[in-house]
Amino acid sequence: MNTYKITVLPGDGIGPEVTRQAIKVLNEVSKVYGFNVEYVYADIGGIAIDKTGEPLPAETLELCRNSDAVLLGAVGGEKWDSLPLDKRPEAGLLAIRSGLGVFANFRPAKIFPPLKNASPLKDRVIGDGLDVLVLRELTGGIYFGERKRTVHMAEPAAYDTMIYKKSEIERIARLAFETARKRKNRVTSVDKANVLEVSRFWRETVTEVSKEYPDVELNHMYVDNAAMQLVINPNQFDVIVTGNMFGDILSDEASMITGSIGMLPSASLNSTGFGLYEPVHGSAPDIAGQNKANPLATILSVAMMLKYSFNLEKESEAIENAVLSVLQDGFVTRDLATDGSKVLGCEEMGDAVASRIK
């Protein structure tokens, strides 16, 4: 029997409760389909700061590197908000992405049909549904460029730098085209090439790479327009490929179209296919520990892990089908509640999905 070793980083806020439900579901899948999972737990974010003074202890990164995949909950909270940027919980998240080299962040925004009513967009905009993949570059750009508090013309000032190397753009572009081939063969590259030099370079480089993929349709869009197009005609998109910060913003927007950011999973892969899996949402300290969080984004992140890291397609679909079945029966968590829906707690949602694995 195959054994997969997973490092679990529950993190802060609702992180621990949503990862607990995802593990519950994964354990059920492993029982039904006959494989073993070993879990190793480690700290990241605020809890790691409290225990060690560091948002990403070296030991955590080492454990991650020695496992087959990583499952992360969420990091951050008010308690650590006044720390300097490089000591905040979020710095741990950036450090682990960079330390594992997971440059390709897949954020699929799909509407589960029973949740069409939870989308803030009208039926005539959504049509039959939504299926957009945001592919966000995750280990470069303005998140990782030099930043500083400084003095400019005798006044206090600050700067961040957005820099992309050619190879960084090429590898994410290639992945976008490869991914589109398995979907609807369309790539939209999002930038701000009417203003930023780095965006002009991004656009040029993506266009160059596209010559290797003549069968895939490519268009370019400015990020402000893309933000608008997502709410007026989201189905024009198949794969959106973009840099770190634009991808952060657009993936939140895309997720909300699906009804709740609590539904959006993500996979971050390096060049060998090793992956870090995490929900797109944050640590939601306001509802932490109250059994109110939506665990579906984390549960669906485990589905992505099975497919992307372990090549377990059937097993991955079993999770997606179980989630669909729960939603079809009208069960939701409170973030998705509309008239007539039956609201479950985090724990009960985990049970409901686990019990439908077949």
Q: Measured at CB, which residue is nearest to Mn ion?
A: 248
Applying CB under 6 A, which of residues 28, 238, 248, 315 lies at the interface with ligand IPM? 248
Lookup: tokens for 98: 């960079």
* Strand pairing report for 104-110 and 3-11: unpaired
| 93: partner contacted, choices Mn ion, ligand IPM, none (Cβ within 5-8 A by kind) | ligand IPM
Distance between CA 44 and CA 91 in Å, rounded? Answer: 10
Neighbours of 90 (CB within 10 A): 19
335 binds ligand IPM (CB under 6 A): no
- Please, which of residues 252-291 interact with ligand IPM by CB under 6 A? 280, 282
Catalytic residues: 143, 192, 224, 248, 252
Site for Mn ion in 228-287 (CB under 5 A): 248
Contact 266, 160 (CB under 8 A): no
Nearer to ligand IPM, 142 or 231 (CB): 142
Smallest distance from the beta carbon of 266 to ligand IPM, in angstroms? 7
If the CB atoms of residues 54 and 347 are measured against ligand IPM, the closer one turns out to be 54
CB of 338 to ligand IPM, least distance (A): 26
d(CA 270, CA 161): 23
354/323 Cα distance (integer angstroms): 9
- Binding at 265: pick from ligand IPM, Mn ion, none (beta carbon under 5-8 Å per type): none
Q: Are 40 and 8 in contact (CB under 8 A)?
A: yes
Nearer to ligand IPM, 93 or 216 (CB): 93
* Residue 75 or 198 having the CB closest to ligand IPM: 75
Question: Rounded to 5 degrees, what are φ and ψ at 242?
Answer: -160, 170
Q: Residue 247 Cβ, how far from Mn ion at the closest point, in Å?
A: 9
**Smallest gap, in angstroms, from Cβ of residue 3 to ligand IPM?**
29
- Contact of residue 90 among Mn ion, ligand IPM, none (CB under 5-8 Å per partner type): ligand IPM
Nearer to Mn ion, 163 or 245 (CB): 245
The residue length of the chain stands at: 358
Residue 137 interacts with Mn ion (CB under 5 A): yes or no: no
93 binds ligand IPM (CB under 6 A): yes
Give the number of residues in contact with ligand IPM, rule: CB under 6 A: 6
Minimum distance between the CB of residue 98 and Mn ion, rounded to whole angstroms? 16
User: What is the Cα–Cα distance from 46 to 181, expressed in whole angstroms?
Assistant: 40
Least spacing, CB of residue 67 vs ligand IPM, in Å: 20
Give the nearest distance from C-beta 64 to ligand IPM in angstroms. Answer: 16
Is residue 90 close enough to count as binding ligand IPM by CB under 6 A? yes
Residues near Mn ion (CB under 5 A), total: 1
CB closer to Mn ion, 17 vs 248: 248
Residues 6+ apart with CB under 8 A from 206: 169, 173, 176, 189, 218, 220, 241
Query: Taking CB under 6 A as the criterion, which residues in 61-80 touch ligand IPM?
Result: 76
Residue pair 130/111 in contact (Cβ under 8 Å)? The answer is: yes
Between CA 7 and CA 247 the distance in angstroms is 26
Q: Report the candidate in 177, 174, 183, 298 with the shortest Cα–Cα distance to residue 235.
A: 183
Q: Between 28 and 248, whose beta carbon lies closer to Mn ion? A: 248
- Interacting residues toward Mn ion by CB under 5 A: 248
- Interface residues with ligand IPM (CB under 6 A) are 76, 90, 93, 248, 280, 282
